[in-house]
């Protein structure tokens, strides 16, 4: 892998470069406060200088200082110092912790628990080969080489082949090395240059293909180089302070927000960029304290964010970057009202002023159309077919009657145990009650299991996830609350004990295995109750080069099966939905009516929002505020 080493050598040897010009399209209006820095502001070090020694820090009137963020004004930037706010150094401004520019030395090391421990740069493996060759063991980038890529939109920036080709900044490059990322994945190759060029992006790429880094890297890099964020200032009443993040990353579940936060903290380690997470089910006081220390990137679930906005503890007026992970989920019926409220009805700068990045593995056309309200002159990127599953996942569909499911699962688990390999198995069920009961039954039968669903409190959910990840309980029974985004190493087998109603949910569920180039196995129990999924399932399997059982093809061929429900693939003439909806002459434009076209809506109660498995602080069951998380 000579090319990999080359890219790392390039990264490692790079001289610290002077701050390059800001490449985003954020408006470059003059930053008035820069000229009137008071004493408090003199202690402020912009993010792009925070990874340098204090002697190297130029005065605030550097190139970054002539740029403004949206909504920035004298009252936003630094007024805390003069207006009864904290004194010098109390709030480091822009999220930098207290103290001088070297204060990141005290930043907890997010790589401390790396498993195995990270060897020093340049270390060699026992066989004498460079360590880089052994990093991310099992990553099979060749699996991604022939992947079809579609981009559309005006003036699409070209992709890159290595991280060294992209000027992300020295500190971020060092963190990429610490993460042991040798080469960008395909979605990163395309998405990072597009985002760095300041363009809005709707990106679709298969599960486990590195989308988190694809949106985090440009955001962190842009914040490091861009104008300083506003410091927390009084404004919330009762002497409370309002935080002004520069970037907002929204995700649909608490666990996914926590995971993105952990990832983003690694990527931004020692860059001076501060990442804070806010999600429901956890005490808000700690989150408020974190926000008061300053925040550049806020990762949040919609419900908790609305709470913080209503308490005036967060303002979105300084947002330069908005990212929606699992964007199709965030814009479907369950979440759309809250997301619109956050993005359109609060104080967030409009599209074209902020930069908006939407990512998911699935992107139904109707959701694309809706998403276009949030974007301006955007680029559509599809890496692999939209909504397809990776060929790295071997999919097996077995015909199992409801009454036989448990014994069938037991057979699978016994067979797995007989191989002697310690693997993690994720079992998806439809209901919260079903999850509890299957968990107990497995435990009674000698298979250590735990469960995660919306009726468990947050502590229990987090404990379950930790216990599963560590292998202490190698079986996790889950509802769809665990279907999206979670990146759990060593999940070798996903079992769809109950199949979902929607093929996209199936794609996300099985995507918990076969990640980052590793292979995985997904087994589904199919019976007459799942007949409406037959056609889309058979199509998906065919497309992923999987063997489709003859009986499933027969089910799929029946005219009464597979054509309805929420299975957009079966909408006819629109297989895979892997196209930019703007290129589809039959699509209705911005502002067109909803509910037509190939929307897989069915009834609203049958849509995502109504699934009983999402409830109780998760997605919300029927009638519950789905995103109050």
Ligand X SMILES: Nc1ncnc2c1ncn2[C@@H]1O[C@H](COP(=O)(O)OP(=O)(O)OP(=O)(O)O)[C@@H](O)[C@H]1O
**Binding-site member from 212, 268, 368, 546 for ligand X (CB under 6 A):** 212
What gap in Å lies between CA 28 and CA 208, rounded to an integer? Answer: 36
Stretch that binds ligand X, among 311-319, 347-355, 508-516, 537-545 (CB under 6 A): 508-516
Indicate the residue among 388 and 536 with the shorter CB distance to ligand X: 388
The secondary element (H helix, E strand) that includes residue 2 is helix 2-13
Sole binder of ligand X in the list 62, 114, 136, 431 (CB under 6 A): 136
- Between strands 424-428 and 355-360, the pairing is unpaired
The CB-of-150 to ligand X minimum distance in angstroms stands at 17
Q: Closest Cα partner for 349 from 255, 438, 247?
A: 247
Contact yes or no for 287/336 (Cβ under 8 A): no
Sign of CA dihedral 290, 296, 301, 304: positive
Is there binding between residue 514 and ligand X (CB under 6 A)? no
The number of CA neighbours under 13 Å toward the Cβ of 93 is 29
CB of 470: closest distance to ligand X in angstroms?
Answer: 16
Per-residue tokens: 446: 């000698």
One residue of 94, 184, 236, 571 binding ligand X per CB under 6 A? 184
Q: Which is nearer to ligand X, 276 or 327 (CB)?
A: 327
The least distance separating ligand X from the CB of residue 623, rounded to whole angstroms, comes to 28
List the one residue from 295, 339, 343, 516 that touches ligand X (CB under 6 A): 516
Tell me the closest approach of the beta carbon of residue 510 to ligand X, in angstroms. 10
The distance of closest approach from Cβ of residue 12 to ligand X in the complex, given in angstroms and rounded to an integer, is: 16
Looking at the Cβ atoms of 439 and 487, the one nearer to ligand X is 487
**Rounded to whole angstroms, how far apart are CA atoms 405 and 623?**
30
Between the alpha carbon of residue 87 and those of residues 97, 142, 216, 288, 296, the distances in Å are: 14, 55, 32, 19, 20
Under rule CB under 6 A, residue 364 binds ligand X: no
Report whether 369 contacts 590 (CB < 8 A): yes
CB of 91 to ligand X, least distance (A): 31
CB within 8 Å of 69: residues ≥ 6 apart = 26, 226, 227, 229, 230, 246, 318, 320
Q: Does 511 bind ligand X (CB under 6 A)?
A: yes
**Residue 284 · residue 263 · CB < 8 Å:** no
Least distance between ligand X and beta carbon 263 (Å): 7
**Could you say whether residue 515 binds ligand X (CB under 6 A)?**
yes
User: 407: helix, coil or strand?
Assistant: helix
* Nearer CB in complex with ligand X: 318/389: 389
Q: Examine residue 387 and tell whether it contacts ligand X (CB under 6 A).
A: no
Total residues at interface with ligand X (CB under 6 A):
21
Contacts of 579 by beta carbon, 8 Å cutoff, 6+ apart: 150, 365, 382, 386
Nearest distance from C-beta of residue 516 to ligand X, angstroms: 3
Report the alpha-carbon distance of residue 458 to residue 489 in Å, rounded: 21
Asked if residue 291 lies in contact with residue 314, where contact means CB atoms within 8 angstroms, the answer is yes
Residue 48 or 177: the one with the smaller Cβ distance to ligand X is 177
Question: Which residue of 181, 279, 428, 581 would you call a contact of ligand X, by CB under 6 A?
Answer: 181
Q: Is 485 in the site for ligand X (CB under 6 A)?
A: yes
Which one of the spans 7-15, 207-215, 461-469, 498-506 is the region binding ligand X (CB under 6 A)? 207-215
Residue owning tokens 């800001």: 22
Residue from 191, 361, 465, 503 touching ligand X (CB under 6 A): that is: 361
Question: Residue from 23, 195, 207, 246 that binds ligand X (CB under 6 A)?
Answer: 207
Distances (CA, A) of 89 to 92, 232, 490: 5, 12, 44
Residue 329 C-beta: closest distance to ligand X, Å = 10
Q: Considering the complex, state which of residue 207 and residue 368 has its C-beta at the smaller distance from ligand X.
A: 207
| Nearer CB in complex with ligand X: 186/610 | 186
Q: What percent of the chain is helix, strand and coil (3-state, nearest 5)?
A: 40, 15, 50
Under rule CB under 6 A, residue 562 binds ligand X: no
Question: Residue numbers of the site for ligand X (CB under 6 A)?
Answer: 136, 139, 181, 183-185, 188, 205, 207-213, 361, 485, 487, 511, 515-516
């Amino acid at each position: 892998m000579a090319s990999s080493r080359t890219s790392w050598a390039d990264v490692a040897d790079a001289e610290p470069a002077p701050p390059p010009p800001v490449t985003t399209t954020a408006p470059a209006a003059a930053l008035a406060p820069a000229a009137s820095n008071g004493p408090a502001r003199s202690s402020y070090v912009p993010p792009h200088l925070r990874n340098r020694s204090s002697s190297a820090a130029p005065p605030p009137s550097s190139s970054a200082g002539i740029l403004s963020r949206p909504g920035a004004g004298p009252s936003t930037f630094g007024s805390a110092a003069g207006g009864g706010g904290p004194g010098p150094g109390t709030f480091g401004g822009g999220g930098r912790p207290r103290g001088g520019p070297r204060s990141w030395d005290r930043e907890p090391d997010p790589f401390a628990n790396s498993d195995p421990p990270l060897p020093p740069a340049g270390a060699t493996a026992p066989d004498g080969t460079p360590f880089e060759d052994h990093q991310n063991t099992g990553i099979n980038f060749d699996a991604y080489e022939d992947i079809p890529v579609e981009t559309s939109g005006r003036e699409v920036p070209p992709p890159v082949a290595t991280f060294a080709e992209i000027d992300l900044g020295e500190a971020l490059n060092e963190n990429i090395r610490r993460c042991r990322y040798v080469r960008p994945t395909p979605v990163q190759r395309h998405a990072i240059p597009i985002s760095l060029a300041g363009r809005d992006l709707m990106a679709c790429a298969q599960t486990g293909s590195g989308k988190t880094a694809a949106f985090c890297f440009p955001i962190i890099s842009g914040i490091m180089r861009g104008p300083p964020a506003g410091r927390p200032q009084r404004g919330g009443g009762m002497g409370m302070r309002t935080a002004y993040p520069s970037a907002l990353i929204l995700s649909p579940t608490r666990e996914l927000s926590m995971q993105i936060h952990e990832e983003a903290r690694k990527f931004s380690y020692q860059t001076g960029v501060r990442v804070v997470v806010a999600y429901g089910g956890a005490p808000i006081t700690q989150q408020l304290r974190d926000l008061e220390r300053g925040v550049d990137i806020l990762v949040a679930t919609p419900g908790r964010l609305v709470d913080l906005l209503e308490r005036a503890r967060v303002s979105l007026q300084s947002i330069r970057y908005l990212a929606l992970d699992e964007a199709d989920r965030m814009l479907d019926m369950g979440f759309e009202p809250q997301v619109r409220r956050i993005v359109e009805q609060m104080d967030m700068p409009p599209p074209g002023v902020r930069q908006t990045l939407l990512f998911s593995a699935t992107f139904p056309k109707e959701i694309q159309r809706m998403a276009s309200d949030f974007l301006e002159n955007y680029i559509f990127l599809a890496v692999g077919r939209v909504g397809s599953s990776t060929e790295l996942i071997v999919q097996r569909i077995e015909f199992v009657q409801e009454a036989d499911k448990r014994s069938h699962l037991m057979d699978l688990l016994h067979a797995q145990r007989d191989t002697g390999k310690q693997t993690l198995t994720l079992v998806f069920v439809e209901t919260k009650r079903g999850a509890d009961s299957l968990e107990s039954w497995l435990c009674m039968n000698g298979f250590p299991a735990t469960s995660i669903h919306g009726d468990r409190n947050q502590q229990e959910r987090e404990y379950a996830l930790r216990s599963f990840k560590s292998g202490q309980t190698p079986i996790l029974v889950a509802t769809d609350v665990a279907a999206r985004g979670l990146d759990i190493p060593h999940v070798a087998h996903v079992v769809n004990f109950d199949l979902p109603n929607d093929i996209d949910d199936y794609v996300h569920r099985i995507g918990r295995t076969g990640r980052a180039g590793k292979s995985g196995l997904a087994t589904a129990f199919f019976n007459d109750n799942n007949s409406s999924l037959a056609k889309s399932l058979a199509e998906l399997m065919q497309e992923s080069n999987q063997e489709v059982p003859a009986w499933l093809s027969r089910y799929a061929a029946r005219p009464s099966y597979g054509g309805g429900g929420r299975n957009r693939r079966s909408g006819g003439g629109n297989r895979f939905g892997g196209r930019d909806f703007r290129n589809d002459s039959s699509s209705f434009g911005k502002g067109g009516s909803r509910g037509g076209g190939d929307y897989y809506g069915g009834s609203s109660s049958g849509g995502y929002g109504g699934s009983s498995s999402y409830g109780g602080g998760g997605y919300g069951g029927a009638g519950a505020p789905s995103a109050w998380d």
